[in-house]
Amino acid sequence: MEFLTLNNGLKCPAIGIGTFMLTPAEAENSVREALKMGYSLVDTANAYVNERACGRGIKASGLPRESIFLSTKLWPSEYENPNALAETLERLGTDYVDLLYIHQPAGNWLEGYRQLEKAYKEGKTKAIGISNFEGKYIEELERQWEIAPQFIQAEAHPYFTQTELRRTLDKYGIKLMSWYPLGHGDKNLLKEAVFAELGSKYGKTPAQIILRWHTQMGFAVIPGSRNVEHIKDNLNILDFTLSDDEMALIAKLDKGVRYYHRTEDQLVQFAAWKPDYEK
Ligand SMILES: NC(=O)c1ccc[n+]([C@@H]2O[C@H](COP(=O)([O-])OP(=O)(O)OC[C@H]3O[C@@H](n4cnc5c(N)ncnc54)[C@H](OP(=O)(O)O)[C@@H]3O)[C@@H](O)[C@H]2O)c1
């Protein structure tokens, strides 16, 4: 495994399993199988309503808790709940997480960030992060954080490489964990000719070439999958290196176009929505 060294010295595996839109049964299965085959990073969130299932998958893997890097996210309607982290840990079946994000710059997100800082100081999380903070939100947070985050989770893939955001991240040594790394199932990205060409050169699938590109960009990558063969392939990307010329060819695909466009109205809705947690 390759690791990213965070701005607090902690090491985070470069490849993990994502669980967005996985049902509890799917998440439990994907997490257990991923951990058994050598993954050590698991990404979930309050909003995915599968934290209990991820916890079951971790237990069923038989791996000791300390060998796993567990990442989750507080949802905006939890930012003012003083028990949000305790309830999250109870669902996950653990007494600490390795990385705790606030999921969206919605509602009282500064209070949410204060919860992260408190959890960090108390040792209940080893790293903190912000998710979907860009533009004015990251500028405002920058003025108010006591502890700079270690990670940002944001949409990133060869069509949208977050050039502007990365300038801010570089200032503080904040690492990017890319979501929608494979385009969230969009076949156009996977079908780009350059990935087929490089795939045949290295004996890899287009998805593996894209994921290797992420790790060589310095991103942590957490592809989501319900398919054990895909999960296996997604880990098997560290035995080759794309050359600088090949990275430059992939860079030409950057159109500055994202798949997901969030509106200010959605942020208001996010703050009002309460996840219907698994019992
Ligand atoms: N912070 C946020 O707001 C946010 C937002 C979105 C996502 N995320 C996180 O980022 C993770 C990744 O994003 P995502 O899951 O939405 O999108 P993604 O990883 O870009 O794409 C997932 C899709 O790709 C397919 N896939 C996975 N591996 C493949 C392979 N080797 N070959 C071909 N297809 C493959 C999956 O299908 P199969 O199931 O058939 O493999 C699934 O349809 C999430 O799971 C979540 O943990 C965070």
Nearest alpha carbon, ligand 1 atom 26: 225
If you take atom 40 of ligand 1, which residue's CA is the nearest one? 227
> Is 44 inside a domain boundary?
yes
Query: Is 48 considered catalytic here?
Result: yes
Three-state secondary-structure class, residue 38: coil
The answer to the question of residue 131 being in a domain is yes
What domain range includes position 59?
A: 3-271
**Nearest CA, atom 41, ligand 1:** 225
Average pLDDT, the chain: 97
What is the pTM assigned to this prediction?
0.98
* β-sheet with 175-179: strand ranges across: 16-18, 41-43, 69-74, 99-102, 128-131, 151-155, 175-179, 220-221
- Taking residues 265-278, report their average pLDDT: 96
Q: pLDDT band at 279, cuts 50/70/90?
A: confident
- Does 30 map to a domain? yes
Q: DSSP labels for 86-143? A: HHHHHHHT-S-BSEEEE--S-SSHHHHHHHHHHHHHTTSBS-EEEES--HHHHHHHHH
Q: Give the pLDDT of residue 135.
A: 86
Q: Which residues line ligand 1 (CB under 6 A)?
A: 18-20, 43, 131-132, 153, 179-185, 205, 207, 222-227, 230, 233-234
Of 21, 180, 195, 231, which is best to mutate to test ligand 1, by the most ligand atoms within 8 angstroms of its C-beta?
180
Spatial distance between the Cα atoms of 77 and 73, rounded to a whole number of angstroms: 12
Using a pLDDT cut of 70, give the percent of the chain over it.
100
Q: Looking at 48, 79, 101, 159, which residue is catalytic? A: 48
Q: How many domains does the chain have?
A: 1
Mutate to test the pocket of ligand 1, among 182, 204, 213 (most ligand atoms within 8 A of CB): 182
- Mapping DSSP to helix (H, G, I), strand (E, B) and coil, where does residue 174 land? coil
* Vertex 11 angle, CA 5 and 14, to 5°: 80
**Mean pLDDT calculated for residue range 192-217:** 98
In this structure, are residues 218 and 4 in contact, taking their beta carbons and an 8 Å threshold?
Answer: yes
Q: What is the pLDDT of residue 242?
A: 98
Whether residue 216 is contained in a domain is answered as yes
In-domain check, residue 278:
no
Percent over 90 (pLDDT), the chain: 98
Residue 277 is assigned to a structural domain of this protein? no
Please compute the mean of the pLDDT values over residues 54-75 and round it to a whole number. Answer: 98
- Domain annotation covers residue 279: no
Residue 276 lies in a domain: no
CATH number reported for the structural domain that contains residue 11 in this entry: 3.20.20.100
* pLDDT tens profile 80-113: 999 999 999 999 999 999 999 999 999 999 999 9
Q: Dump pLDDT digits (tens) for 209-240.
A: 999 999 999 999 999 999 999 999 999 999 99
